[in-house]
Chains A and B, each alone.
Chain A
């Protein structure tokens, strides 16, 4: 086992020293667009794109400077300023892990910015959309670049805010407003975990900064209850942000946002922040057979199946993709729970997924754009002839996600499955099963959308999208083809990430084996799934109205009853509690003492009407409250 390299304080300036510009550009863009408002209507979108591209350029230059350093020097902490004096500094950590994310965020982010020029062209509030996108990019970069948990948390909540604003971008639709609020509140449940996790980290290690934590942990490897608690609490945070069980319910509703948002935030970047958190906090999930690490893998395996099952039953193309996103992040979590041997595959899958899922979401957006914003796949059909570019790029993304040999997903997902089968066989074989289901639901989506007969509404006139939308699709699909092989073959990504996250010992170093049992089983199951989908949705006619289906179908359509569960467990009891508390406050704390006072003072009706009645009533009620307070103080304080 090779430990992560030590973090060094960066003093040399250069591009790494100026890496804060990565965050500053999009933040400035957001500020300008929000403050100037309608004045930027004409050029706001261009500014948004320019700021995102500028950030991408900074990221690339920083990356180039970083790989110019020797491997053991590739963890550079850049101190920016004193935030909470004596306790927390603002600063960035530029290392292989953070820069990988930064490249993904700014790269895919810029493509989605460009795409949005076309997609949002008819929206009168387009510049506001771009201001939120810029705000998102800035916050997401702070999340991954911050050199301590406090900075990470500020970014973490910042992306939550951007997500809230963008899900609710069309807030005049009640469904969008509710979905936005739900996403924020469910995420806050996870944030509670992250927050308390930080309490315990600070109490145990007296620091929240990654470099100091690394040093402390290197000195005396942590163990015991505190570490388990930290790990589980961070996992709770990760579950919220990454829509993992049991905090998954918000992601499907989040599809209320404009489609570029679904692609950028709810597929490619923000929802993977939980995986980042686990990998960045690897020391708390060590050793890989610890309870908290196992919990990560179990959550991942459970969610990858749950998301896949949900994906099977959705007729709404975006919700189908959302279920798929849940499922794919489940794979990443499964990998991240396996320790250094799984990190490279988890991050690798995160990166390739960022490409092929963004590709498919934007493709879905292109289809919706052509079909009057229709999302029901039962009303699509035969679109491949009318939107060839969208079809080809979507199909490439599809092949990548089901793990078609030699495409991106084949390498990264297979890596997770192989490693899991080796280290956690039960979870690993569940992941194989999940791959088969993926083969089914993704094929179903492709067949229903692009193949078969037209089932369009009468006024649909599908057409290919403009170049500003198709070029991002082409570039993303190129990534969906080649990136996986490049990252995984000869362990390129693993070696690159090693200084940041550690690496498995040489004996456990994975080698790509196309003919392993698990790999072949996966391919076979995917083929079965795809074939089954062909029988049901390719060859056979797709009914325009969804059939009622079995209990299992209902179960999947209703998101495995997640909302029903939340409603009966939290929302309704919460409402009762709130109502009781309000009643208690009016009648109990205030009213009881008032009533008591009135009872002592005479008939309450007469007293209420006259001013002096007020005085006496309240004098008595205050006395009662104060006596209660004094009694409590003296009673408990004297023991």
Chain B
């Protein structure tokens, strides 16, 4: 029994309570306390991360407490390599988001001068952020599937309020759409979770004990579908993606970062861990249609992104394209493609996080998310333009930046996967590589229309990034460049978990290094 993970979850919960109980009018204090708490969580996470043994058992820092004994439900937590890097991603993003959203809950000026006032107080926003952080850690740390389901659903609540109470003009529309889509997926998953419990007949929801418990192929397929649809909505995968652009566009920039950067990863994380390992035969049977949907997401998301006129919606559609890559990597079932997919989840969080925040800073200066309302910003605010460009380049997976490594691994791992005969996956990899061209179009065209050209009248009074904003973006850029050249620390943690996954899925797909000459 290790206390670390319960502590990691308890600290933000306690912080949230403290912030909520602060007297009215102490907004600034609320923000400072929230930031402090999130930094404590970050430090604790790093302490956990350095203690993680890459050659050790799969689940480390395990803690299991009885919760509902009559159904065998336990409060079981523990992390494998992939869960660890995703928790670390959350712990890094939360303080950055807090600092970035410093004024987001104060109300925003829209382009036509009307003030959009939040429905709830400033301190509520920040205490919701901490609650969300606890749940994000919980969802990745849960080793009990019922506990996972609870976090999976509960996460919606703080996010619903963050969008619905603090978002843009269309916030309630977007929040309801987000909630209903997610609830529906969750409902299917609940049915599948209960069915899994009943059919397995082991009186437990603990994931390690349920691996291999379902043997009947037909049962596997039904249960797989229940989990997969919930995760596909969350990820989101075409054609159940339409909630994301609305939610991301209406959410405050910081909330959008957590939504797209972390919450959506629960979908792809769930596919990799639960869909594959619990229902390996079904996963293999469904691989091809899912890879086709993933490739459609990649190309379709990119094309629709090119046509967007709203920056936040554009970024949301690029994410749909990127999630397609992650799903393709997961289901190509090779060591390289799955490691790439897991790495993609982390790198996408940094890259899209940076892009959403940089765009958010730009939007905050004008009150409009419309690309057409800007022009020639680089001349006025070179720093903002520079960060925006770097974040954009990470979005188009420029080699030398972290997102390239993962995208390259996904594509080449899919191409070289021998899991299902080479033909179809090779075609999928080649088609997905077309996104390399499309990504350059959607990013650079946006950069050109907002940052380049003659300076528009409306942007002449812009101030460049202040210290707070630089402190928000600089760490993300450092991570993007650092992991772009040195992805090994992340991959060393991820790789053993992927190997174990492939063993559980019973796919014989040796790593490239074993097949060919080493270096």
User: Which A residues contact B (CB, under 8 angstroms)?
Assistant: 34, 37, 79, 81-91, 150, 153-154, 156-158, 161, 164, 168, 171-174, 176-178, 180-181, 184-185, 188-189, 191-192, 195-196, 198-200, 202-203, 205-207, 209, 212, 215-216, 574, 577-579, 581-582, 585, 589-590, 611, 614-615, 618-619, 622-623, 625-626, 628-630, 632-638
Q: CA of A87 to CA of B289 in the docked complex: distance in angstroms?
A: 29
Asked if B180 contacts A622 (CB within 8 A), the reply is: yes
Report if A216-B233 is in contact (Cβ < 8 Å); known contacts: A622-B184, A633-B225: no
Q: How distant is A202 from chain B, measured CB to nearest CB, in Å?
A: 6
Q: CA of A579 to CA of B412 in the docked complex: distance in angstroms?
A: 31
Asked if A618 contacts B180 (CB within 8 A), the reply is: yes
Q: Does B181 contact A (CB under 8 A)?
A: yes
Q: How distant is A42 from chain B, measured CB to nearest CB, in Å?
A: 18
Closest residue of chain A to B491 (Cβ to Cβ) is: A85
Question: Out of A85, A611, A626, which one reaches B188, CB within 8 Å?
Answer: A626
Q: CA of A484 to CA of B518 in the docked complex: distance in angstroms?
A: 41
Q: A172-B454, A205-B516, A618-B177 are in contact. List 7 more A-B contacts (CB 8 A).
A: A81-B486, A84-B409, A154-B400, A618-B176, A622-B180, A626-B229, A638-B221
Asked if B307 contacts A195 (CB within 8 A), the reply is: no
A residues near B488, Cβ cutoff 8 Å: 81-85
Asked if A632 contacts B411 (CB within 8 A), the reply is: no
Asked if A188 contacts B379 (CB within 8 A), the reply is: no
Asked if B405 contacts A84 (CB within 8 A), the reply is: yes
Q: How distant is A172 from chain B, measured CB to nearest CB, in Å?
A: 5
Closest residue of chain A to B378 (Cβ to Cβ) is: A171
Q: Mark B431-474, 1 if CB is under 8 A from A, else 0.
A: 00110110011001101100111110000000000000000000
Asked if A192 contacts B433 (CB within 8 A), the reply is: yes
A residues near B290, Cβ cutoff 8 Å: 633
Q: Mark B390-423, 1 if CB is under 8 A from A, else 0.
A: 0001000011100011001101100110000010
Asked if B512 contacts A184 (CB within 8 A), the reply is: no
25 cross-chain CB contacts under 8 A: A37-B382, A81-B488, A83-B485, A83-B488, A164-B444, A168-B452, A177-B448, A184-B444, A188-B440, A189-B437, A191-B436, A191-B437, A192-B434, A195-B436, A196-B430, A199-B430, A206-B515, A577-B303, A579-B307, A614-B173, A615-B176, A629-B229, A632-B293, A633-B225, A637-B221
Asked if A202 contacts B400 (CB within 8 A), the reply is: no
Closest residue of chain B to A174 (Cβ to Cβ) is: B453
Q: How distant is B158 from chain A, measured CB to nearest CB, in Å?
A: 20
Q: Does B519 contact A (CB under 8 A)?
A: yes
Asked if B239 contacts A628 (CB within 8 A), the reply is: yes
Q: How distant is A257 from chain B, measured CB to nearest CB, in Å?
A: 14
Closest residue of chain A to B409 (Cβ to Cβ) is: A84
B residues near A633, Cβ cutoff 8 Å: 225, 228, 286, 289-290
Question: Out of A171, A212, A615, which one reaches B451, CB within 8 Å?
Answer: A171
Asked if A203 contacts B487 (CB within 8 A), the reply is: no
Q: How distant is A290 from chain B, measured CB to nearest CB, in Å?
A: 22
Question: Out of A150, A623, A637, which one reaches B285, CB within 8 Å?
Answer: A637
Question: Out of B184, B307, B422, B447, which one reaches A626, CB within 8 Å?
Answer: B184
Asked if A206 contacts B379 (CB within 8 A), the reply is: no
A residues near B452, Cβ cutoff 8 Å: 168, 171-172, 174, 176-177
Q: CA of A545 to CA of B308 in the docked complex: distance in angstroms?
A: 43
B residues near A577, Cβ cutoff 8 Å: 303
Q: CA of A198 to CA of B511 in the docked complex: distance in angstroms?
A: 17
Question: Out of B286, B304, B411, B517, which one reaches A206, CB within 8 Å?
Answer: B517
Q: CA of A630 to CA of B239 in the docked complex: distance in angstroms?
A: 11
Asked if B448 contacts A86 (CB within 8 A), the reply is: no
A residues near B491, Cβ cutoff 8 Å: 84-85
Q: CA of A90 to CA of B437 in the docked complex: distance in angstroms?
A: 26
Question: Out of B408, B412, B519, which one reaches A89, CB within 8 Å?
Answer: B519
Q: How distant is B388 from chain A, measured CB to nearest CB, in Å?
A: 13
Q: Mark B289-300, 1 if CB is under 8 A from A, else 0.
A: 110110000001
Report if A86-B451 is in contact (Cβ < 8 Å); known contacts: A185-B440, A185-B444: no
B residues near A581, Cβ cutoff 8 Å: 300, 303-304, 307
Q: Does B288 contact A (CB under 8 A)?
A: yes
Q: How distant is B389 from chain A, measured CB to nearest CB, in Å?
A: 9
Q: How distant is A147 from chain B, measured CB to nearest CB, in Å?
A: 9
Report if A174-B454 is in contact (Cβ < 8 Å); known contacts: A632-B289, A634-B221: yes
Question: Out of A82, A161, A202, A623, which one reaches B512, CB within 8 Å?
Answer: A202
Report if A582-B180 is in contact (Cβ < 8 Å); known contacts: A83-B488, A189-B437, A622-B233: no
Contact-residue size bin, chain B (C-beta under 8 Å from the other chain): 35 or more
B residues near A202, Cβ cutoff 8 Å: 412, 415-416, 512
Asked if A185 contacts B239 (CB within 8 A), the reply is: no
A residues near B237, Cβ cutoff 8 Å: 629
Q: CA of A547 to CA of B239 in the docked complex: distance in angstroms?
A: 57
A residues near B411, Cβ cutoff 8 Å: 195, 199
Closest residue of chain B to A577 (Cβ to Cβ) is: B303
Asked if B240 contacts A622 (CB within 8 A), the reply is: yes
Q: In the A-B complex, list the 5 residue pairs whose CB atoms are closest, starting with the nearest.
A: A206-B516, A177-B452, A582-B307, A86-B513, A199-B415
Question: Out of A85, A156, A585, A630, which one reaches B225, CB within 8 Å?
Answer: A630
A residues near B188, Cβ cutoff 8 Å: 626
Tell me the residues in window 172-220 of chain B with beta carbons closer than 8 Å to chain A beta carbons. 172-173, 176-177, 180-181, 184-185, 188
Question: Out of A150, A172, A212, A623, which one reaches B408, CB within 8 Å?
Answer: A150
B residues near A622, Cβ cutoff 8 Å: 180-181, 184-185, 233, 240
Q: How distant is A27 from chain B, measured CB to nearest CB, in Å?
A: 10
Asked if A185 contacts B376 (CB within 8 A), the reply is: no
Q: CA of A16 to CA of B409 in the docked complex: distance in angstroms?
A: 30
Q: CA of A626 to CA of B229 in the docked complex: distance in angstroms?
A: 7
Closest residue of chain B to A612 (Cβ to Cβ) is: B176
A residues near B409, Cβ cutoff 8 Å: 84, 87
Q: Does B359 contact A (CB under 8 A)?
A: no
Asked if A181 contacts B492 (CB within 8 A), the reply is: no
Q: Does B127 contact A (CB under 8 A)?
A: no
Q: CA of A171 to CA of B448 in the docked complex: distance in angstroms?
A: 9
Q: Does B247 contact A (CB under 8 A)?
A: no
Q: CA of A172 to CA of B455 in the docked complex: distance in angstroms?
A: 7
Q: How distant is A620 from chain B, measured CB to nearest CB, in Å?
A: 10
Q: Which among A172, A206, A633 has the highest number of chain B CB atoms within 10 Å?
A: A633
Report if A619-B436 is in contact (Cβ < 8 Å); known contacts: A157-B398, A199-B430, A202-B512: no
Q: CA of A241 to CA of B437 in the docked complex: distance in angstroms?
A: 14
Q: How distant is B346 from chain A, measured CB to nearest CB, in Å?
A: 15
A residues near B451, Cβ cutoff 8 Å: 171
Q: How distant is A597 from chain B, measured CB to nearest CB, in Å?
A: 11
B residues near A81, Cβ cutoff 8 Å: 486, 488
A residues near B416, Cβ cutoff 8 Å: 199, 202-203
Asked if A181 contacts B487 (CB within 8 A), the reply is: no
Closest residue of chain A to B515 (Cβ to Cβ) is: A206
Q: Which among A81, A84, A164 has the highest number of chain B CB atoms within 10 Å?
A: A84
Asked if A578 contacts B307 (CB within 8 A), the reply is: yes
Q: Which among B184, B382, B511 has the highest number of chain A CB atoms within 10 Å?
A: B184
Asked if B304 contacts A615 (CB within 8 A), the reply is: no
Asked if A625 contacts B240 (CB within 8 A), the reply is: yes
Asked if A178 contacts B448 (CB within 8 A), the reply is: yes
Q: CA of A619 to CA of B181 in the docked complex: distance in angstroms?
A: 7
Q: CA of A579 to CA of B303 in the docked complex: distance in angstroms?
A: 9
Q: Does B495 contact A (CB under 8 A)?
A: yes
A residues near B516, Cβ cutoff 8 Å: 205-207, 212
Asked if B426 contacts A199 (CB within 8 A), the reply is: yes
B residues near A88, Cβ cutoff 8 Å: 519
Q: CA of A28 to CA of B311 in the docked complex: distance in angstroms?
A: 33
Q: Does B232 contact A (CB under 8 A)?
A: yes
Asked if B398 contacts A161 (CB within 8 A), the reply is: yes
Q: Does B62 contact A (CB under 8 A)?
A: no
Q: How distant is A554 from chain B, measured CB to nearest CB, in Å?
A: 29
A residues near B504, Cβ cutoff 8 Å: none
Question: Out of A150, A184, A630, A636, which one reaches B440, CB within 8 Å?
Answer: A184
Q: How distant is A6 from chain B, measured CB to nearest CB, in Å?
A: 14
Q: Does B32 contact A (CB under 8 A)?
A: no
Q: How distant is B285 from chain A, measured CB to nearest CB, in Å?
A: 5
